[in-house]
Amino acid sequence: MDVGTFIFWGIIAVVVIYAITIYNNLVSLKHGVSKAWSNIDVLLKQRHDELPKLVETCKQYMNYEQETLDKVMQARNAVYAAGQSHDLAALGIAESQLRMGMGQLFAVAENYPDLKANESFQHLQGRISDLANAIADRREFYNEAVNNNNVRIEQFPDVIIARVMNFKSADLLEFSEEETADVNIKELFG
């Protein structure tokens, strides 16, 4: 075998190894996005299970606040449906509605001293608040994983492998403008 042939096969081997490395990195990023979504999904399901308990506890005290309780349950169902269908745009909107409904529920609960003193209510309120914080943290990790994935599949030379192997970009989990706007305290307590 002459030197030219040896160099040719050496270059082919390097290119193949490089392509395999790119492919494996893209697969890792894709699965990182899936893992990050799974972490959010677990927390959404836990909160989904806790909200009816909170609403039932509140019903015992809040005789005239059925509309607020209904809004929370409707938003809960919308979050669940969007999460099950992996519709991130709808999930962002539903999550915003749920957060606003929860804010109203907790604000209205201020008018019921017996409810605020109820140990079950306090526990559920704390648990749901903790889950909401955990969801926000996981959303940050998810969006970072999505960003890393989307950047890599658009960068050269990764874009070549990504297109050939049909890698797709993922959507960020974004909340509506109401979710990111400043809260009007007068409106909540007015």
pLDDT, tens digit, 9 for 90 and up, residues 70-96: 888 888 899 889 888 888 888 888 888
Out of 2-6, 124-128, 147-151, the most confident range is: 147-151
3-state secondary structure 69-114: HHHHHHHHHHHHHHHHHCCHHHHHHHHHHHHHHHHHHHHHHCCCHH
CB atoms within 10 A of CB 145: 21
Query: Whole-model pTM?
Result: 0.74
| Alpha-carbon distances, residue 47 vs 21, 97, 108, 128, 166 (angstroms) | 39, 14, 20, 6, 35
pLDDT at position 8 over 90: yes
What residues does each domain of the chain span? 3-189
3-state secondary structure of 164: helix
Task: Residues 3-189: name the CATH superfamily.
Answer: LemA-like domain (1.20.1440.20)
